[in-house]
Amino acid sequence: MDLQQLKTFLEVCQTRHFGHAASNLYLTQSAVSFRIRQLESQLGAALFVRHRNNLQLTAAGERFRQHAESIITRWEQARLDVASQQDRAPTLSLASTTAIWQAWLGPALLDLHDELADRHWQTETLTPDQISRRLLERSLDLAILPVPLKVDELNSQLLTSLPLVLITPGGVTAEQALEHNFVHLDWAPNLPSSSQPEPLPTASLRTSDLSLAKQWITRNNGAAVLPESLLQHEQVSWQGWPELTRTELPLYLIHHASHPDLANLAPVIDYLLQR
């Protein structure tokens, strides 16, 4: 078993198609099939099964996918760690969900780098489940989520709260926008959150992508509960309706309680807590 086999397996998992995986990896389809057969032979189990022309993971394939992701991640972390030691500059990994990166963490990281320019960064967009697993494996240094992870080995600290309000394009009333084109922004898929107050209408779009949510309500004269900062910092003319919907999204900084290099993390944690 080698890394190329694992990368090929994960690409097939992503595309669910040998031909598409081959194209993405600049390989022939026969080469992809051969690598998968090698893996299945080494593991003694089938990883994929065809079902009505769809390629599906077997139960063994689902279990092995987590191991393959972990191995690739640990290899990349080891490579970066060795490189950073040679450069004498630490590399820290930071993860969150798509919406939180776009709404808060991306700008925060830019400011953080201005303050701590000697750090190198590896950023990742992950699901909460992936974040929890990676933190427990100690293959991820820091994460930001809208809920604390209630695991004994993990430390969750409240960083800040992001004010959210109901927003529509300028000139569109909330009643008009909510009637047909409400967008539900999912800040952390599969995690409970109180940031989407009820009652609100059925969403015409549910997404974890803040950029798509803004484009959707702009084109369709819709509404969404979005960061209040959009009203001041964007060129697009937005209209806020805090009297109808106003809430806050808590953001928690999470890391392993027994992180091997807490001294290196401390300035980063202190800066984010004070931001």
Band of pLDDT at residue 261, cut at 50, 70 and 90? confident
At a CB cut-off of 8 Å and minimum separation 6, what does 12 contact?
A: 18, 21, 32, 36, 48, 55
- pLDDT tens-digit readout, 204-253: 999 999 999 999 999 999 999 999 988 887 667 889 998 888 899 999 99
Q: Where are the domains of the chain?
A: 3-70, 90-275
**How many Cβ atoms are within 10 Å of 54's Cβ, its own excluded?**
9
Q: Which residue has the higher pLDDT, 194 or 241?
A: 241
Check residue 124 and give its pLDDT: 93
Min mean pLDDT across 63-77, 136-150, 181-195, 241-255 is at 181-195
Task: Check whether 191 has a pLDDT greater than 70.
Answer: no
CATH 1.10.10.10 fits 3-70, yes or no: yes
Examine the pLDDT at 166 and tell me if it is beyond 80.
yes
According to the model, what pLDDT value does residue 120 have? 85
Q: What is the pLDDT of residue 48?
A: 92
pTM: 0.69
Is 198's pLDDT higher than 60? Answer: no
* Arch. (CATH architecture) of 90-275: 3-Layer(aba) Sandwich (3.40)
Q: What is the spatial distance between Cα 148 and Cα 151, in angstroms, rounded to a whole number?
A: 9
Is residue 85 over pLDDT 80?
A: no
Whether residue 196 has pLDDT greater than 90: no
Mean pLDDT of 109-133: 89
Residues linked to residue 255 through DSSP beta bridges, in sequence order: 155
Long-range contacts formed by 140-143: CB under 8 A, 24+ apart: 140/93, 140/95, 141/92, 141/93, 141/94, 141/255, 141/259, 141/265, 142/92, 142/93, 142/94, 142/95, 142/253, 142/254, 142/255, 142/265, 142/268, 142/269, 143/94, 143/95, 143/96, 143/253, 143/254, 143/255
Residue type present at position 192: P
Count the residues in the chain. Answer: 275
What are 120's strand-pairing partners? Answer: 91
Helices then strands, counting H and E runs in the chain, come out as: 11, 11
pLDDT at 192 over 70: no
